[in-house]
Amino acid sequence: MSSHETISASDGADFAELKTNMNVDYVIHYSIPSDKAEAEAGFIQLIEALTKVGLASEVRHGDASSLLVFVKVASNQYLASQIYRERVQDWLYSVRTSAPEKDVVRAFENEPVTEAERLRLVYLLITKPRNEGGAGITPKVGLWKQVNSIFPLHDQAFNSSWIKAWSKKYFLDEEDLDHMRNKFGESVAFYFAFLQSYFAFQIFPAAFGLGAWLILGRYSWLYAFATSLWSVVFFEWWKKKEVDLAVQWGVRNVSRIQHARTKFEWDHEAPDPVTGELVKYYPPMKRLRTQLLQVPFAIACVLVLGALYIFCFGIEIFLTQVYNGPFKSYLTFTPTIILSGILPVLSAILTKFAEVLTERENYPTNDAHTSALIRKIFIINFITSYTPLFLSAFIYMPFGNLMVPYFQIFTSTAGKFYSENSITTQEFHINPDRLKSQMVYCAVTAQVVNVALEFVVPYIKRVAFKKVESVQAKRANQNGEAIQDAPEEHKFLERVRDEAKLGVYDVAVDYREMVVQFGYLSLFSSIWPLTPLSFLINNWVELRSDAMKIAMGSQRPIPWRADSIGPWLNALGFLSWAGSLVSSAIVFLFSGESEGPGGDPSNVHVVGLLVTVLFAEHLYLGTQFIVRYALGQIDSPGLQKERKERFAMRKHLLEETLGPDAMEVATPPTIKTGEKITLAALEDEARKLSVGSGGTPEHTFWLRQQGMNETIQIGRKLISQAKPPKH
Amino acid sequence: MSSHETISASDGADFAELKTNMNVDYVIHYSIPSDKAEAEAGFIQLIEALTKVGLASEVRHGDASSLLVFVKVASNQYLASQIYRERVQDWLYSVRTSAPEKDVVRAFENEPVTEAERLRLVYLLITKPRNEGGAGITPKVGLWKQVNSIFPLHDQAFNSSWIKAWSKKYFLDEEDLDHMRNKFGESVAFYFAFLQSYFAFQIFPAAFGLGAWLILGRYSWLYAFATSLWSVVFFEWWKKKEVDLAVQWGVRNVSRIQHARTKFEWDHEAPDPVTGELVKYYPPMKRLRTQLLQVPFAIACVLVLGALYIFCFGIEIFLTQVYNGPFKSYLTFTPTIILSGILPVLSAILTKFAEVLTERENYPTNDAHTSALIRKIFIINFITSYTPLFLSAFIYMPFGNLMVPYFQIFTSTAGKFYSENSITTQEFHINPDRLKSQMVYCAVTAQVVNVALEFVVPYIKRVAFKKVESVQAKRANQNGEAIQDAPEEHKFLERVRDEAKLGVYDVAVDYREMVVQFGYLSLFSSIWPLTPLSFLINNWVELRSDAMKIAMGSQRPIPWRADSIGPWLNALGFLSWAGSLVSSAIVFLFSGESEGPGGDPSNVHVVGLLVTVLFAEHLYLGTQFIVRYALGQIDSPGLQKERKERFAMRKHLLEETLGPDAMEVATPPTIKTGEKITLAALEDEARKLSVGSGGTPEHTFWLRQQGMNETIQIGRKLISQAKPPKH
């Protein structure tokens, strides 16, 4: 039974009493609706469903209108059998190269169960559909609409030592990532591995950018080329690294084992061509037709968001550079106010659209659904993030002067509110620093604001809430309405109540932020070469603030497995490629003495621009090809390891079944034991045959020369008869 | 022993006496130098080397100055063990999904040995290095410089029935390809499979082209778009088909099992990271540096061949369109004569360069060496094939009028030979049909010439040679010098002597031809929309003439295995992509009323051209992305089969080792048997603990509610106390 003890939840005895998680695997936060009969019925269903799949439960007060249901696996033996089954399944799907040990006890000794493994399987027990052996509990849906959330409890001791360790070092090492992986699963660990690699790689463009800023100035060809090369190398390198990590963490191909999506609607059931089991089937061509709707969706995004941006952009230019009337200093904020008022609404509407569209694409698995959604969200993000810079670089700077007549509209609109003569305008001049100041905003201000929004604001909010609550609690206490906990549990329960209030950590949000940043770097950083340095500093903070977000700002994430950074890889590739187009165009337009066309399109040499862009893109693609080839020459240690293990496993199997000498080189029959020679006794008979009739021609043919020596004899005779060409 | 009989060479008894191959596996054609002592020594070494690896030999007269050494495996048992070893190796390298049967006899019953398998292994026995268990015989190199060739004998009966069958059907089916594979190996079968698929796919552009020719005319956008789309679909489809075929033929991943290159020079020996065996090692970065020489090589090719073409092109334009002096009708052939005189020489020199370069890149395996060479040969071919059309489309047509002053050089040169006044010139006019007539030449004339050169000429040559020989033989007979064969062997030996004179079949030559044709189609066919129709007809003939070339015009090829069409795939992809650029540029330049800029560059709208090309390329890349995605949605039957087999194999192994119920769903412990409940006896004690002190907090925590029913009871109580938000 020793093997089972090792897989019980973390031993509380090591930590102070307050840090124990009471062996709880998951907490279910159950809210009580006003209809108490409904609440009771739902609660009973919940406990019954949990018990049926072998989970033990305890219930405690949540806040005034909710319960906390604590769940743990009733029998460790049952959990062990589940884990063993999963490991076997991993092997069936080529995630593992070798099957787990036949002896279960030894299997768990060799590969102890990690916390992530345990938590993942318990979560699956709670949420998997009933027909697959789970309790089928889906928070906030249908029968389970009272279930607010299902979350594991933070390991406080680990979290605080982890955050402390990270704040003291510059680079994370493999061990740090391994810790992440054991606690939060590969999905989160991959994000940190990516961020760490990205951070380390950024040192190069940061240093080069600093040099360029000092020596080459803005809009430098050399800088743009170096950044583009860097982005190619980083992208290709990460693709390899990703595979390596997956092999090292034993999760390669894990994306093949998919968790079925609850809302999937199937056409018919058919046997799976690989496993032979009945699976739900939806024709991919039908899905493809729905997917094509992404094209109008993308166009709609461009139009809607583009229109908003152009509108605000026009007002802004007007107010800052043309308008000179009353309230100018206040009015300049108008576009920002409009943008920050309308943009979130539009984004939300488009995101909703994206969700509906993805829903209709009807993917059978959660992973496919998520990545389809991410693709669409990426389009929205791409437009909202980069449009302002696009407009400045490719509309304002080259066509600025052409816009002047249109400002008349604004002037006359403004004139309706004020007496016409109070509107004074100044002559329009292109602001040559507009692009740079926008870029500085994106690279510095926006990043700082973002860290603040992501980390500081929730912190303040939490502190404030706590304050309010403690006041409420005091009042309730005075009224005798306070929740009564057993004193030895009180602090633990308070902690759980706090965690129940936290949000769910969504790794996609953090990825999105980094990918958008990568886009700024590869598309626009030639505008201000200090951009990468600023990002480098930001990412050092980001790495730690994301860690804190997980440790303190969110519920502990479900430790999902993953074998890559998923759809974000394509987004990175796309941005890296787009960078070759955009940055070459920017450098072409703005490099040189005049720094840009100054609002007059006739200053733009269109053929030169097109040739430059065309050339830059093909240079990019060529470089990518070469880098890919060169990196392909270096064998990935991860894949090598995998091949090695597979080879060893097969050789082992072979020796087991065929005996140890199966692969040894068989020695050919020696000269005197050839088949021909064993016929020596029949020699005379054979000669007769060869001269006279009888015997097949084949037989006769091979009996003319008996053995090597005779062949050599006859050969010599033939050579002596030959007439070789004379020299 | 029954298993061994099945693998003996084809039974002669089925065919007429003359069609038997006398059970010969290979024939070694050994030439006798003038130094007969040397000849003898070499011959003895040859026979000894063969005998040592278990091969039996017979020697007969070749022609006047050569010998024919017939080789067969002396012991079928030894061959069987070799084949079995190879199958096991296949499994170790993931070529097979399952190991061969443990029982050797049953293994050969389930999977009988094909002719290709037997011949391949015997060839390896003859040629593999000695330390790997072969005789190490390399024709024409070092010790073996007297060995002219090593070849298997044609299966006459099969060949004639095969050619007869093919001449009667339009499409080859899978069975035809299977026959090819069994006789000539996967390497040749892949070529025919590719050609067949390409032929079938061509029906679409042929039909569309015919329609375009009738309705849309030349330089049609629609036609160019359709062809480009077609090339994308064909390319992506073939990539899938290739994998399918490889799985079906059991050769997927066979490219991993590489045959070491004899001339490979290694830096040091190191243990292979996968198998642990000592292997020769050459640092890939060192190779990469040599590979970078390909860039100057490609530039040199462009310069050298480009210069030749431009020179001839200039002369040609001058003579046909400017010059009007004496001998005009003869002089117009000058450029053709120069080109056909110098081009082969230059090509040969560049090919030699390519060979030297590839040699210096020092690849460890034959496959890597071959594909590196093919890449370089492709560059040469690309330039020689397409430069004339490039020059006409992008130099002659837009810049023709600018060339006129330079013709003065020719006029004055010509003036040195004749009295100045006899040189009359006509006014230069762009020939608008030049491009079309060139394309027609490439699509029709060149193809017909090619079939003739490839098939008719060797045939005539062979007939003529035969004639000469029979005259010589008659004379020799009269002089009593004729070679004396045993009468019952005479006809067989005559046939072998004929085959010894044939060339070696090189599948790369045929691939090259098809790839170049594909390039014409995707790059230039919008010039003359009947091009694909012409190619379709040509390929019907090509398929059969290539078959005849193998059956009658070449020695029987060594049946190598292959898992793809190798480096040609990249060449196809490159041409398909280049097609998007070139054909869009051509259509932009030449579509419309005027059919081209008529020699005046000011007629070219440069911005429009660049935008068009840029747009076309990105449309191409976008389409490729979508087609790839769509085809990726359709599961490949081959890969599915492979996964299925692997899954089944693993499941089988699992059941063998873990028992049949290993994968069954374990039932969770029922409600009353949960761990908590088994503690029921301790109930009172526990209650005491939970109230008083003692026991770990975790223990106490989980003992408050004993079993599901108590949890429900307490939950109800808590719900009744709750204060849910009022509605």
Q: What is the pLDDT of residues A420-474, one digit of tens each?
A: 555 666 777 788 788 888 899 888 888 888 888 877 787 888 888 888 888 887 8
Query: Cβ contacts (< 8 Å) between A244 and chain B: which residues?
Result: none
For B77-94, the pLDDT digits (tens) are: 888 888 888 888 888 787
Closest C-alpha to B712, from A22, A42, A483, A29: A42
What token pair was written down for A581?
A: 């187009």
CB contact under 8 A, A91 and B650: yes
Query: What residue in A sits closest to B61 (Cα-Cα)?
Result: A718
Q: Please give the angle made by the CA atoms of B515, B521 and B523, to the nearest 5 degrees.
A: 95
The pLDDT assigned to B726 comes to 55
Q: Is the pLDDT of residue B396 over 60?
A: yes
Band of residue A15 on the pLDDT scale cut at 50, 70, 90: very low
- Which of A78, A719, A721, A726 would best serve as a mutation to test chain B binding (most B beta carbons within 10 A)? A719
State residue B67 phi and psi, 5-degree precision: -115, 155
Tell me the pLDDT band of A668, cut-offs 50, 70 and 90.
low
Contact A708 B57 (CB under 8 A): yes
A131 in B contact zone (CB under 8 Å): no
- Taking only the tens place, the pLDDT of each residue in A87-115 is 888 887 878 877 787 777 888 888 888 88
Residue range B322-328: mean pLDDT, rounded: 75
Instruction: Round to whole Å and give the CA distance between B522 and B228.
Output: 6
Query: Which of A274, A574, A613, A618 to mutate to test binding with chain B, by most B CBs within 10 Å of its CB?
Result: A274
Domain ranges within chain B, ordered by starting residue:
2-153, 163-634, 671-721
Beta bridge partners of residue B576, listed in sequence order: none
DSSP 8-state symbol, A267: S
Say which DSSP state A132 is in: G
Task: Measure the CA angle with vertex B353, ends B351 and B358; round to 5°.
Answer: 95
DSSP characters for A577-611? HHHHHHHHHHHHHH-STT-S-TT-GGGS-HHHHHH
Name the most confidently modeled range: A15-29, A255-269, B605-619: B605-619
Average pLDDT, stretch B478-484? Answer: 71
CB-based contact (8 Å) between A504 and chain B?
Answer: no
Nearest residue of A to residue B78, measured between CA atoms:
A668
Which residue of B lies nearest to A45 if distances are taken between CA atoms? B712
**Residue A684, C-beta contacts closer than 8 angstroms, at least 6 positions apart:** none
Q: Which residues of A touch B372 (CB under 8 A)?
A: none
Instruction: Determine the distance in angstroms separating the CA of B660 from the nearest CA of chain A, rounded to an integer.
Output: 13
Q: What is the pLDDT of residue A422?
A: 57
CA B392 to each of CA B405, B437, B527: distance values in angstroms, whole numbers, following the listed order: 18, 11, 12
Using a CB-CB cut-off of 8 Å, the residues of chain B touching A65 are 722-725
Contacts of A672 in chain B (CB under 8 A): none
ipTM for the assembly: 0.79
Q: How many residues does chain B have?
A: 727
**B29: pLDDT confidence band, cut at 50, 70 and 90?**
very high
Which residues of chain A have a CB within 8 Å of the CB of B31? 724
Which of B:279-298 have CB within 8 Å of A?
284-285, 287-288
Indicate the residue of A53, A674, A715 with minimum beta-carbon distance to B668: A53
Work out the burial of residue A200: count CB atoms within 10 Å of its CB; fewer than 13 is exposed, 13-18 middle, 19 or more buried.
middle
User: Looking at the predicted structure, is the pLDDT value of residue A7 above 70?
Assistant: no
Give the percent of chain B with pLDDT over 70.
Answer: 89
A143 in Cβ contact with A45 (< 8 Å): yes
pLDDT value at residue A286 = 85
pLDDT digits (tens, 9 = 90+) for A492-517: 888 899 899 888 999 999 999 999 99
Question: Nearest-CA residue of chain A relative to B45?
Answer: A712
* Closest to A30 measured CA to CA, from A120, A154, A153, A143: A143
For residue B621 the two structure tokens come to: 């890349």
| Interface contact flag, A78 B668, Cβ < 8 Å | yes
Q: Where are the alpha helices (DSSP H) in B212-293?
A: 221-248, 284-291
The tally of CA atoms less than 13 A away on the side-chain side of residue B271 is 7
Range among A198-212, B397-411, B695-709 rated most confident:
A198-212
Q: Does B619 touch chain A (CB under 8 A)?
A: no
Question: Cβ of B614 and A613 within 8 Å?
Answer: yes
pTM for this predicted structure: 0.84
Mean pLDDT of chain A: 83
Task: Point out the least confidently predicted range of A5-19, B95-109, B488-502.
Answer: A5-19
Asked if A694 reaches chain B (Cβ–Cβ under 8 Å), the answer is: no
A82 to chain B: which residues are within 8 Å by CB? Answer: 666
The yes-or-no verdict on residue B284 having pLDDT over 60 is yes
Using 50, 70 and 90 to split pLDDT, how confident is the model at A570?
very high
Instruction: Decide if B59 and A85 are in contact by the 8 Å CB cutoff.
Output: no
As a whole number of angstroms, the distance between CA A365 and CA A363 comes to 6
Q: Which residue has the higher pLDDT, B320 or B673?
A: B320
Task: Tell me whether residues A613 and B611 touch, CB distance under 8 A.
Answer: no
In the predicted model, is pLDDT for residue A475 greater than 90?
Answer: no
Q: What is the CA radius of gyration of chain B?
A: 35
Query: Residue A718's closest CA among B69, B151, B28, B501?
Result: B69
Q: Do A702 and B72 touch (CB under 8 A)?
A: yes
Q: Does B695 touch chain A (CB under 8 A)?
A: no
